[in-house]
């Protein structure tokens, strides 16, 4: 496995290291001290910004409970595949010479390109040939971006759903609110995907939440009053936003999740769920997510939702 890094600064770096199972992991390091790997995104002060359960299982092919799993070619259990599809459970390879991104696409100061192709076992349960390219970039300011490109290299069209299943680390879920999703319709997975309209000015948490907000803006903010920090979530090519916290009762039923860990996490996913994506032979889809963490004085009203990321 050879490294592939785009270095915009000589102090930025990309390296491949072994985890405790002897499996290769890619680590990106930005000049100001920020870093990112499969399940970790740290700011320049070394503070972890993503949540990973203390009970997470790090043995393939088990999915890791935390980080940013990629849900493909199925989100949730709305289909014939395993929960959230198989991409999050597979071993990817570093691609030394990927096809170029479109003109003007930012790559950050250090990045790595990964590639996933279907195995024989994958083709038995989902008989479609694809190339899934993922570029993970870390900006000089510590922003994390992920660009997914899925190409149909099959002889027939196929359809898939997708999500960046982003586990954010928070101080206490009772101290968190989400802005940017107000007035939107959502599908409530706790009510058999019944459709409702968000009535609150911001989303707060007092019980289990499992919703798909439809036609959501390309920017939202997660305000953590306990940490005095705000996550800015920008997306492109992803029409929906998934919000999930299992709360106390469900947490106790999840094997690889601590009973009280729901208090320290929140999933806010850029996704394409309600209307799955269809690709004809030779077509390619692109979906991008960008995460930044800023002081809590930041106001989402300062963001221009029409500005491309």
Q: Is 151 annotated as a binding residue?
A: no
Q: Is 32 annotated as a binding residue?
A: no
- β-sheet with 110-116: strand ranges across: 93-94, 110-116, 130-138, 144-152, 284-295, 229-236, 219-224, 176-179
d(CA 209, CA 8): 40
Cα-flanking dihedrals φ and ψ of residue 251, to 5°? -55, -40
Q: How many Cα atoms are found within 13 Å in the side-chain-facing hemisphere of 303? A: 20
Helix (H, G, I), strand (E, B) or coil at 300: helix
CB 237 within 8 A of CB 289: no
CB 221 within 8 A of CB 231: yes
Alpha helices in the chain (DSSP H): 120-125, 247-251
Q: Is 83 annotated as a binding residue?
A: yes
Of 160, 166, 159, which Cα lies nearest the Cα of 242?
A: 166
d(CA 6, CA 87): 24
Binding-site annotation, residues for substrate: 65, 83, 88
Binding-site annotation, residues: 65, 83, 88
């Amino acid at each position: 496995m050879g490294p592939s890094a785009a270095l915009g600064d000589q102090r930025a770096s990309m390296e491949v290291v072994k985890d405790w199972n002897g499996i290769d992991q890619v680590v990106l390091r930005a000049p100001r001290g920020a870093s990112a790997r499969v399940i970790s995104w740290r700011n320049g002060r070394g503070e972890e910004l993503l949540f990973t359960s203390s009970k997470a299982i790090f043995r393939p092919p088990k999915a890791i409970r935390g980080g940013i799993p990629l849900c493909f070619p199925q989100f949730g259990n709305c289909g014939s595949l395993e929960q959230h599809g198989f991409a999050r459970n597979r071993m990817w390879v570093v691609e030394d010479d990927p096809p170029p991104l479109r003109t003007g696409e930012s790559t950050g100061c250090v990045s790595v390109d990964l590639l996933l192709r279907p195995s024989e076992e994958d083709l038995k349960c989902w008989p479609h040939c694809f190339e899934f390219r993922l570029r993970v970039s870390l900006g000089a300011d510590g922003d994390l971006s992920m660009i997914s490109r899925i190409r149909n290299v099959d002889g027939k069209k196929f359809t898939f759903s997708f999500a960046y299943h982003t586990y954010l680390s928070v101080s206490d879920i009772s101290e968190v609110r989400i802005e940017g999703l107000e007035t939107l319709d959502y599908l409530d997975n706790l009510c058999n995907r019944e459709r409702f309209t968000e009535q609150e000015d911001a989303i707060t948490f007092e019980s289990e939440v499992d919703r798909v907000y439809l036609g959501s803006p390309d920017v939202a903010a997660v305000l953590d009053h306990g940490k005095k920090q705000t996550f800015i979530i920008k997306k492109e090519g992803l029409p929906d936003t998934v919000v999930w916290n299992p709360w106390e009762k469900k947490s106790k039923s999840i094997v690889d999740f601590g009973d009280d860990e729901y208090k320290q996490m929140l999933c806010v996913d850029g996704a394409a769920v309600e209307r799955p994506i269809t690709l004809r032979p030779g077509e390619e889809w692109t979906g991008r997510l960008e995460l930044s963490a800023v002081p809590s004085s930041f106001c989402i009203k300062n963001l221009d939702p029409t500005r491309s990321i």
